[in-house]
Structure 1
């Protein structure tokens, strides 16, 4: 019967092997002897002989060579007589189970009864405990660990302590093969073949000795006449058209989202447990005392209380007398004075009065929270009319002023709106008539013109021009004789007289 070995039991087996001075070679030789003995037992049972002497010989370490010779002969006899039937194999496995577990009591007898009723091999026999895949921790406080096939409780056995297990290992040489099965609450003795398999697994080898992990690869596919791929079918039509079922699913999800059946925001989970009287106590606490509102902070001094302000901010005596005639609410709180240094500043006259009024406000005045209205700044902007309502507005080219050879960088309109001055990167300044587009005058400079501007006073038609690092004031020549005379007087600059230092 196959038994799963826990890691602790595997470590215990390995430690026992190391203590006894054994090795994997001894396991291999011992396993071969055990396999030969099992085959000889089956052959002798068919011939009607007993296998007791052979078991005695295999248990002794000195008769391994004789057992191997007998096993070879028994294997040849078994091959000559043919394979045994399933019933004979089942009966042989049951007999082996009975011989190996003579001291197990009722549990072994029940196992033999189950094996006799079934025609399957020993590995396929159902476990004695029928609780299923249930954790054994559920039965740690019970006197039993489950129920058998007949519905009877499987009582727990008394576990051996360290001393009893040591004495048992001394008395029985095969005790190191026994492992404890927690599921069925019984000790299971491993066969030599299973011990050999465990030894190979502990050494990092394959469980079976016949397995070759480095066997040559056998390519079962024939590539000689393969001129086409394995699947040479044409592409189906569904690969080139959209899926109608996916479209239906998309429509279904869209409708569910619109109806609110599918929500992307997860609802806040309310606490499952809460205080039974928590709401009432909280309401009582709120009504018993007033809510705390912090006191407003005093106003900080500003620039109006400067000790050395400018002269224009210092009031005259007449203004001070007029302050006395005002109402107290409209009267300024502070009259600025000027001091030459900070050492000459006297003490504040109303310091005690202001502190007293501050204390009165904190003690007597009720406090109220000021509600602030959150307004979107965009809503305060005036709504601009639509472009459709602004027609007629210029949408086509009405006039072109042609004459500059470079890009125009600056334009300025005269106060009356009759003339336009333009400056270009070609170093020219032109004056145009707005209505006709005629060029009235042209001035040329060595560098590109950066900016032009008309004089805002209409009685002086003067044009300011910025060229490079220089600024020019030009008389445009517009207007009547009186206007030109005023412009000439304004722009007239006398030459500076150079004094003669030699005289």
Structure 2
């Protein structure tokens, strides 16, 4: 059989041996025609005889490469792999077998299959792009109804009777609907309710169409009587009004022109500001957006936080009880002893006075060489001692007003041997006074809660010696910092943990004394910090500033302020917490002391409650200064304040 190859790029090309050798082959002439049946569904078990022998299904043949069988038959028996011939045997079989050119290999059953003449013919037709079976694609169409004219109809079946009678079953269905309408079960013109789906697509577009809130541009104001070419006399300006109009700025003028009067319209000149006004109009339309905003009616009182009545938050200091008179200069500092019986004060008249708190009687007076900057009582109950800060010195004074046992223990501490200290010089003046000399002027002093350690702040700028920590029991002074990041304003000890707070002008740094590292940095947001005080629990701190503001910082919440209080009109001089009551206060140069209720809850999820409860107008303003210091009583809700007028007042 001879065949020309029409498609050289076909995937399968069938070539007979006759085409290769040039001889004719009459092999197909003796074979009978057979019907070709294609069964490509190997998964069907309807005809077991026609299906493949291997019943493993459509699984990769690589799974059986390591096994001696290729699969299983219908009975579940293994089908062993046939013996494979080598390349020489394949070549000899190719030369001797005349049917080799139409033999293909079946990978499923692992055997060779000889294609029939009909299958070869189908393959050749598929390669040529023609129909696989014998068919005429362009068969002539026969019009059954018009190809032959006739006098009788092709279909002359008579119409049935049911075509002319109303349907019985349709009548029953209609009557069923009519009865339901009469009973009210069906509403013929009822509202159409669209059933919403149970689930909806969250990524789908909004059901409501987006409407463009376009607002038309405002129209130009219509000209009035003043713009007329013949305005009334009252619209014309006098010479004084013209000079006043010309002296004003263009934004402050009521009109952009001076009204003029003409006899007739032909005398009206061209308007010289026409293009300028058109340009400004275009700028207004282009640069001024118009947005439609829905106005919300909100009660202004609902926006104000509801705070409890101050009467429900008593007790707090509100009444002036005692006035302490005796100082001739500004009283810069006051301090109450741990027993709550004595009060010590320091003034610009270089004196320190000891007062009896309840009666206001002056018990004792100490006079020094310089202005007293601060007096601080030791918080320990076992000793009776307070520190006096002035110049470059700190003097620890025993007032000798306590019991004999406490007085003897205090004197014993002051009589301890003098240890060498490079940071500061310790010197015993007498049995009741101990002097500590510094290299610079000392600004403030603060005690630790246990009373053994105290820290001082000196005015040495950025020097590392500006902050010193002293130990009373060993008479040792040490410098905890090699470098201070700024001018130190104040320092504090944590009431429970070994933490040390250092306040510069704008930041507060927290150091761990045991680990000797920086733990945290607080940012009150002030320009100049004046004072600070820590809550007895140790988790909250209040900071005062010369910016007339006081802030509350919740250190568990954030390093930034939780609340900022702006009730003072001048610089804030001091802030202080009460040890036992939920109270804190701030004093200012405006002559007032603000008392607040500050409740800290044990529940960490609840924010602190801050309520201003009282404004104490304590002292008069003198020389631009007002209230210089304020301190709470140790046990009672009382407040002691000192001012620039030289007075000390007790509020209870």
Give TM-score scaled by structure 1 length.
0.27
Higher strand share: 2
Q: Considering only CA atoms, is the larger Rg found in Structure 1 or Structure 2?
A: 1
In terms of fraction of residues, the more helix-rich structure is: 1
Give TM-score scaled by structure 2 length. 0.22
